Structure 1
Amino acid sequence: MAILSTSTSAFFERSRTDIKALRSQAERLQGQLSGGSKLDRSSDDPVAASRLRALSRLEQLSGIDKANASRANADLTLADGAMSDMTDALIRAKELATQAAGGTLTGAQRSSIGDELLQIQGNLVALANARDSSGHALFGGENTGDAYALDANGNARYVGTAATGSLPLGEGQSVIRSMTGPEFLSFPNGTGGQTDLMATVKALGDALKGGTADPAGAAQDALASLQTGLDTLTTGQTVIGTRLAWIEVTGDRRVDLSTLRSTEETDLGATDIAGTIARLQETLMVLEASQASFAKLANLNLFSTLN
């Protein structure tokens, strides 16, 4: 009788274990459908889980690179806008210099032109001290204050650092976020030294206001320097445009890589909806049949007798 009792107990225990396993499998499949992931634990597939973690880290780093690219794009766009305004101001300065170089103007007229040129010089200084997206000097390198300061005579002097920092864009690529003022405002003065646009415009303005005995000649001489300065400024804009294009290229590359990572993550860890539903239906069917069979066997007279 003990043998029969043990057999009956073993039957119930085995049936209970099988039904519990089927219920656990059904719950796991339902969890995959609701959560969208086929990996409940890393132990389900250690290799896939490790790769998914690596992909997640890469995506987080990509987010940092994207933020850097956005900042660099903002700063370079601000630089391009400021340079465009400088170009307009310089073109106006050339027009005024051409007028002043003519021999028909009176001293008062040239003095009035000189006043406008000095105003243009002030505008150029203000543009050179423009701020970046962080509120720091846009053309001052790593300086947080102004890029240029006026001395006692009203001359603009560069007070920024020698270079502008770069920002990483991912995959070992980076971009310099702006330019220093001297990189696009300074140019050779023809005598072996250097000058800049602000100094050239101010010198002409002072000359037309009585600072020289030959204001028309000074205006004529200034035209060549103004053109050289304009060429230097245009080159700077080209550099800025090239960097903006580079950010766009790396951004497209980042999007492509992110898409590839997303596809791989889906292949490795996302639930196959159709397949999982089919397995769940099969499991539920087997579970229902197992429960029904167990109930019938448990109610047979033989089991009643054995018990």
Structure 2
Amino acid sequence: MDTKISTAQYFKMMNDLMTTQQGKIAELQSQLSAGKKNVTPSTDVKATTSSLKLSQVISNQEDDIRNLQSVNAGYKEEEAIMMSMVNMMIRMEDISVAARSDTYGANELNIFAIEVEGYMDDIRGLANSRDSNGHFLFAGTKVTTLPFVKKADGSVEYKGNQTEPKLELDTGYKLPLSISGHKLAGVIERKNALGAVTSRVDMFKVMQDFVTALKANDRDGVELAISELQTVSRNLNMNLVDNGLRQNLVEERRDISEEKIVIYKGLLSDARDVDYATAVTQLSSDMLALEAAQSTFAKVSQLSILNFIR
């Protein structure tokens, strides 16, 4: 009776062992076929956790790249707008120099005034440009507020604020999205004969006063406009330089994110992909163990009770 129980237990033990070995072999064969480890929380907690973390990091970097591409598109739009403004400022500077001379009379100056008024309206329209999301580019953080409003007296008032919107990347770095309308319009100081600042105006006030001087045939007013228009142009060109630096920064941040993705994908591959040499060696070892177990089981199964007693 005791012998039968021991034999049954032995058969069960051998059967369980072979089943386990067959399962391990099947899993290794599946991994070798797919080239991926069958990583699950139950089989490899560390690898699973590592894979999930790396996948999330890669996803965050990919989000950053998409955001950076969107930001750079906005920078290029901002650049094109300011380039158009600079071109119009160059023409207005030419007009101011021409209007200063006695070559042109009051009628010609009135024609110049009409031209400058057109440029002023065009520049105000450009300053009220919207981005692809329908937000005003130069309103600061008041992106739904029309930034530059023309009043009844022809002057232009800025309704935005000086706070520049920023995009926070996954790394915590905050990237400025655009310049404010305050920075775009600039601040021009007007001084008296003693050099004391009497007032501060922006580019729209400079253009408006230039128009007034042209219509009034005011050569002194035109003379003042020459230097102030040059200051406006310098401010726009400085903003263009700043825009170029921001575009370069975006390219650098994008390169960093792309390099990180390559690194993290390599780490993820190490966590997920099969090491073929190790897997093949393990498969050979498991198959030999299974063959030995099967051989032993077959021999024991052929023994009769009489053989066992003998």
Same fold (TM over 0.5): yes
> How far 1:179 moved relative to its partner?
0.7
CA contact (8 A) 1:68 1:168 kept: no
Pair 1:180 & 2:183 matched: no
Offset at residue 194 of structure 1 (A): 1.9
1:49 matched to 2:83:
no
Question: Residues of 2 paired with 1:233 and 1:278: CA distance?
Answer: 69
| More divergent stretch after superposition (103-112 vs 122-131) | 103-112
Q: For residue 30 of structure 1, give the secondary structure of its aligned residue in structure 2.
A: helix
TM-score between the two structures when normalised by the length of structure 2: 0.86
- Residues 257-280 of structure 1: CA distance to partner in whole angstroms, max 9, x if unpaired? 222222222223322134324433
Q: Give the AA of the match of 1:136.
A: H
Residue identity in the other structure for 1:180: S
Q: Name the amino acid aligned to 2:210.
A: L
C-alpha distance in structure 1 between counterparts of 2:265 and 2:305, whole Å: 57
Q: Does 1:272 align with 2:275?
A: yes
Aligned counterpart, 2:252? 249
Q: What residue is the counterpart of 2:119 in the other structure?
A: 120
> Judging changes above 3 Å, is the alpha-carbon distance between structure 1 residues 304 and 103 closer, same or farther for their aligned structure 2 residues?
farther
Aligned counterparts of 2:154 and 2:281: Cα–Cα separation in 1: 82
**2:68 counterpart residue number:** 69
* The 10-residue stretch of structure 1 (233-242 or 180-189) with the greater mean CA deviation from structure 2: 180-189
Quickly say closer, same or farther: Cα 1:265–1:152, change in 2 above 3 A: same
Q: Distance in 2 between matches of 1:304 and 1:172?
A: 80
Unmatched 5+ residue regions in structure 1? Answer: none
Could you report, residue by residue, the CA deviation over 1:67-108 in whole angstroms, capped at 9, with x for unpaired residues? 432332222222111111111111111112222222112322
Q: Provide closer, same or farther for how the CA distance between residues 259 and 7 of structure 1 changes in structure 2, counting only shifts above 3 A.
A: same
CA contact (8 A) 1:15 1:294 kept: yes
> Match of 1:170, SS?
coil
In 1, Cα distance between equivalents of 2:61 and 2:52: 14
Cα pair 1:130 1:137 within 8 Å, conserved: yes
Q: Distance in 2 between matches of 1:162 and 1:138?
A: 12
Tell me which stretches of 4 or more aligned residues in structure 1 moved more than 6 Å.
303-306
Partner SS state of residue 157, structure 1: strand
Aligned to 2:200: 194
Match of 1:302 in 2: 304
The secondary structure found in structure 1 opposite 2:149 is: strand
Provide the C-alpha distance between the structure 1 equivalents of 2:4 and 2:269, rounded to a whole number of angstroms: 52
CA contact (8 A) 2:24 2:286 kept: yes
2:295 and 2:305 map into 1 onto residues whose CA distance is: 16
In structure 1, what is the equivalent of residue 13 of structure 2?
Answer: 14
Q: CA deviation at 1:33?
A: 3.5
Q: How does 1:125-144 map to 2 (within 5 A)?
A: 125-143=124-142, 144=144
- Write the letter of the residue equivalent to 1:252: D
Aligned partner letter, 2:94: E
Deviates more, 1:32-41 or 1:220-229: 32-41
The answer to whether the 8 Å contact 2:72/2:250 transfers is yes
Q: Is the 8 A contact 2:161 2:181 kept in 1?
A: no
- Unaligned stretches of 5+ in structure 2? 192-196
Secondary structure of the residue that 2:241 maps to in structure 1?
Answer: helix
The answer on whether the counterparts of 2:188 and 2:201 sit within 8 Å (CA) in structure 1 is yes
State the partner residue of 1:161: 161
Bigger shift: residues 112-121 or 257-266: 257-266
Q: Offset of 1:118 from its aligned partner?
A: 0.7
Superimposed CA distance per residue, residues 23-63 of structure 1 (whole angstroms, 9 cap, x where no aligned partner): 11022223434555435333544344333333233233323
2: distance between equivalents of 1:231 and 1:303? Answer: 107
CA shift for structure 1 position 290? 4.2
Tell me the amino acid that sits aligned with residue 196 of structure 1.
D
Q: Is the 8 A contact 1:141 1:180 kept in 2?
A: yes
Larger mean CA deviation between 117-126 and 10-19 belongs to 10-19
Alpha-carbon distance, 1:124 to partner: 0.3
Fraction of identical pairs, as percent: 24
Is the partner of 1:42 in helix, strand or coil? Answer: coil
Aligned to 2:242: 239
Deviation at 1:133, TM superposition (A): 3.0
Preserved CA contact (<8 Å) 1:169 1:175: yes
SS of 2:169 mapped into structure 1: strand
Provide the rounded CA distance (Å) in 2 between the counterparts of 1:242 and 1:63: 23
- Residue 187 of structure 1 contacts residue 228 of structure 1 at CA under 8 Å; is this kept in 2? no
Q: Describe the shift of the 1:293–1:17 C-alpha distance in structure 2 as closer, same or farther (beyond 3 A).
A: same
How many residues matched? 302
